[in-house]
Amino acid sequence: MMVGMTQLLVARHGETDWNREGRWQGHGGPGLNETGRRQAEALAGRLSGLQIDALYTSDLARAVETADILAARIGRTPVLEPGLREVDNGDWRGLTRAEVRERNPAGYRRWLNGEPGWNGGESYEGMHLRVIETVQVLLEAHRRGRILVVSHGGAVRAVVAHATGLPGHDRRHIDGAGNCSLTTVTTARGSLRLVGFNDVGHLIGVAGLC
């Protein structure tokens, strides 16, 4: 890593039962299941040899539990940051795609077109702006070194879209990040540069994970 550069590691939380069941989680949902905890342990093993200068996490249960597992190996206390939350998907929280298609077919069609289809909650654009503003504050506080952020799939997409210059939160053109995947960006002349996306190499060969 170059002198004066900040490296930002963005980890998605480990698996939950709602992930496995295909349910929208948003600002709710359970903590990690057993697979999710093993995923987090595998990621912790990968990160244990790196110098991590700060650890931030979304304050949602699944992210906090992941961050706590990582913290035990990297020696940093997680700092809760609500700005790193997943998109608030309103009245779709806890529902599967099949349930949404049945209850709200028009909203589901809007969602397929890249818009929020739920009632209440927030828009993807609103989430994107929230996440990027939060990340910029964190980068301003750490102008060099390496910081680790534990967040969610929507937040990972927001960071990738911003770093690659995609307009707004263009989720339809960015594949989803896997549970406990690692995405890496660096600061370069005041902007973000994408280095790696959805890296799950640490999960390969771990029984039941990949």
Q: Are 144 and 3 in contact (CB under 8 A)?
A: yes
- The closest alpha carbon to 117, from 70, 166, 171, 164, belongs to 171
Q: Are 35 and 208 in contact (CB under 8 A)?
A: yes
Torsional class of 141: left (φ above 0), alpha (ψ -120 to 50), beta (otherwise): alpha
Cα–Cα distances in angstroms (integers) from residue 119 to residues 28, 101, 116, 183, in the given order: 15, 14, 8, 31
Active-site annotation holds for 142 = no
Task: Reduce the DSSP state of residue 200 to 3 states and report it.
Answer: coil
209 vs 53: CA distance, rounded Å:
28
Catalytic annotation, pick one of 41, 65, 81, 86:
86
Task: Count CB neighbours of 34 within 10 A.
Answer: 11
Catalytic annotation, pick one of 13, 27, 128, 162:
13
Active-site annotation holds for 86 = yes
DSSP string, 102-125: HH-HHHHHHHHTTS--SSSS--HH
- The closest alpha carbon to 149, from 164, 134, 163, belongs to 134
Catalytic residues: 13, 86
